[in-house]
Structure 1
Amino acid sequence: MPRQPRRRSYDQYCAAARALDAVGDRWTLLIVRELLAGPRRYTDLHADLPGVSTDVLASRLKDMEREELATRRKLPPPAAATVYELTARGRELLPVLTALAAWGAPELAERRPTDAVRAHWFAIPLIPLLHRLPYAPAVLDVRLDEGEFHIRTDGSAGGGGAVYGDGPAPDADARLVLDADTCHALAEGALTVEEGVKDGRIEVTGEGPVAAALRGE
């Protein structure tokens, strides 16, 4: 089936402009952030995107389907729920979001009273740091006061090639317990994982070589 034309375009023969034609609308990249954790139901997306209206969310998801960034499918029984998930092209936006997170990290110096927060929002800035550690590949649980998520440092499966996911992983090699301020320090480059463990700002639990390496044993 031929692709339908977009509603609007910058009409510029420029790679950056073409990219913004596809993902430049408000909320689109944040929807990508949520779907990088794997397939999500519409209600789950709405819950983890505080501030987005139902109309705007539905419109952005339709745009993403049209741009072949996301697809929609029905899960088999007993779930029988419809979920959205990124296509391979949509998952290629991970480095874009990683770069944006690194660029925006200094803006997290102070948390505003109106700021919402979800634990897994810290996954994207942590991914490149954890991928560079010498014990990769590994599966790491990360626990904050706000919740828990996991990161797969080899970028392997779990929900459509997701490299991180909400909640703990059943096959985690180690668990890192820290707070949002420490996550911010890591994302901004003011602290390394090794320094955080040594200073007691990051608690590492678990058995096996990965957890031992993280603890410096």
Structure 2
Amino acid sequence: MSPRRSYDQYCSAARALDLVGDRWTLLIVRELLAGPRRYTDLHADLPGVSTDVLASRLKDMERDGLSTRRRLPPPGAAYVYELTRRGRELLPVLQALGSWGERALGERRPTDAVRAHWFALPLSRSFGGGSAGLVEVRLEEGEFHLWVGSEEGPLYGEGPAPEEPDARLSFFDAEAYGAVGRGELSLREAVRQGRVGVVGEGALAKELRDV
């Protein structure tokens, strides 16, 4: 393993960038916020990263205490990567970075890859500091579920919710979640305009319908 590069500056921002400033590292953190992931799954959801770079970043993250690797018991018997507590502490950093980058997002370009679960972070910001709970989300690109207000465990997961969610959201057009992701439209306003359907009897569903 090659030695970690450093800015060699006695500054907390520089030290943080020593750890997560390399290309792809924070996007790997984004993927691991979904919980344990296999290498093949990470590679599939990080289009554009080479196998060598992904392997190198994962080794760096393990060395720096941001993630761990463990072997699943049979019959899985595959290795998975997951964030440590220190790694999960990067969630507000990613949220702040995503909020700052909303104005740079613009319209989707023909060359842009997209995954449904990439909308989990901006959507979680849309709920603010209200009720906590499990939300199932349906987009044109697929489904994912989101634990709103979760401080432990995964932030989101692919596919339908593993149990009865507090709310089910259906975005009726791509522009609706694009506008929410860019910060141009609040989730509550999208519901009010009839561009997002809300089903459920949990507190989160009731709050969204109370517009």
Same fold (TM over 0.5): yes
Residues 105 and 184, structure 1, Cα contact 8 Å, conserved in 2: no
Residue identity opposite 2:32 in structure 1 = L
Verify: 1:168 aligned to 2:160, yes or no: yes
Verify: 1:192 aligned to 2:186, yes or no: yes
For 2:97, the equivalent position in structure 1 comes to: 100
Cα separation, 1, equivalents of 2:44 and 2:82: 16
Q: CA RMSD in A?
A: 1.8
**Structure 1 moving runs of 4+ over 3 Å:** 207-210
Q: CA deviation at 1:94?
A: 0.5
Residue identity opposite 2:198 in structure 1 = V
User: Residues 77-116 of structure 1 correspond to what in structure 2 (within 5 A)?
Assistant: 77-116=74-113
Q: Deviations over 1:65-100 (max 9, x none)?
A: 011100000111222111000000000000111111
Secondary structure in structure 2 of the residue aligned to 1:165: strand
Residue identity opposite 1:140 in structure 2 = V
**Which moves more between the two structures, 144-153 or 19-28?**
144-153
For 2:33, the equivalent position in structure 1 comes to: 36
| Identity value in percent | 66
For 1:205, the equivalent position in structure 2 comes to: 199
Unaligned runs of 5+ in 2: none
Change (3 A) 1:59 1:190: same
Q: CA deviation at 1:208?
A: 4.6
Q: CA deviation at 1:213?
A: 3.5
Cα separation, 2, equivalents of 1:208 and 1:62: 41
Q: CA deviation at 1:212?
A: 3.5
For 2:132, the equivalent position in structure 1 comes to: 137
